[in-house]
């Protein structure tokens, strides 16, 4: 088994399809940059996700979203329209993570943000009494 980890950005929104036997398949296109001979190159990866294991995360991934994928690497050799041999790089995902690296203005959540329960403390020193605060501490 050959394992690979890639970090990159989505080249398109996640694409969901179903097999004839009604098995769910989600496909991602991930662009990962590499440096060869002093210049940057982009490698496009086809990421295949079987089933519903990452469904809750998919609503947060859009074109341009930074992502990290771990899984089993699959390389396919094919002949393109010009008759040249090409390699298609793919990964069957076993783990997907939100990437802390990079940010895209296009990558926005579809889920509404929860309102924070945090209330900003008042900076008014007149209302604070240290003696009363110590009495309220249970230990």
Q: pLDDT digit of tens for each residue in the chain (139 aa)?
A: 789 999 999 999 999 999 999 999 999 999 999 888 889 999 999 999 999 989 999 989 999 999 999 999 998 898 989 999 888 899 999 999 998 876 654 444 444 344 444 444 445 555 445 555 455 555 4
Q: What is the DSSP letter of 21?
A: T
Please list, in sequence order, all residues whose beta carbon lies within 8 angstroms of the beta carbon of residue 89, skipping any fewer than 6 positions away: 43, 44, 45, 46, 73, 74, 75
pLDDT at 87: 85
Instruction: Return the residue matching tokens 């209330």.
Output: 119
Would you say 103 and 66 are in contact if contact means Cβ atoms under 8 Å apart? yes
* Fold that domain 4-98 belongs to in CATH: OB fold (Dihydrolipoamide Acetyltransferase, E2P) (2.40.50)
Listed by start position, the domains of the chain span 4-98
Q: Compute the distance between CA of residue 11 and CA of residue 61 in angstroms, rounded to an integer.
A: 11
For the full predicted model, state whether its pTM sits above 0.85.
no
pLDDT score of 114: 46
């Amino acid at each position: 088994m050959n394992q690979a980890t890639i970090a990159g950005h989505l080249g398109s929104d996640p694409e969901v399809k179903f097999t004839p036997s009604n098995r769910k398949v989600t496909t991602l296109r991930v662009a990962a940059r590499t440096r060869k001979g002093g210049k940057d190159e982009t490698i496009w990866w086809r990421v295949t996700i079987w089933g519903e294991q990452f469904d809750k995360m998919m609503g947060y991934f859009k074109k341009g979203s930074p992502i990290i994928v771990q899984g089993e690497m699959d390389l396919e050799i094919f002949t393109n329209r010009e008759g040249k041999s090409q390699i298609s790089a793919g990964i069957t995902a076993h783990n997907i993570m939100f990437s802390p690296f990079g940010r895209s203005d296009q990558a926005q959540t579809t889920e509404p943000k929860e309102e924070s329960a945090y209330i900003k403390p008042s900076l008014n020193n007149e209302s604070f009494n240290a003696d009363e605060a110590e009495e309220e501490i249970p230990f």
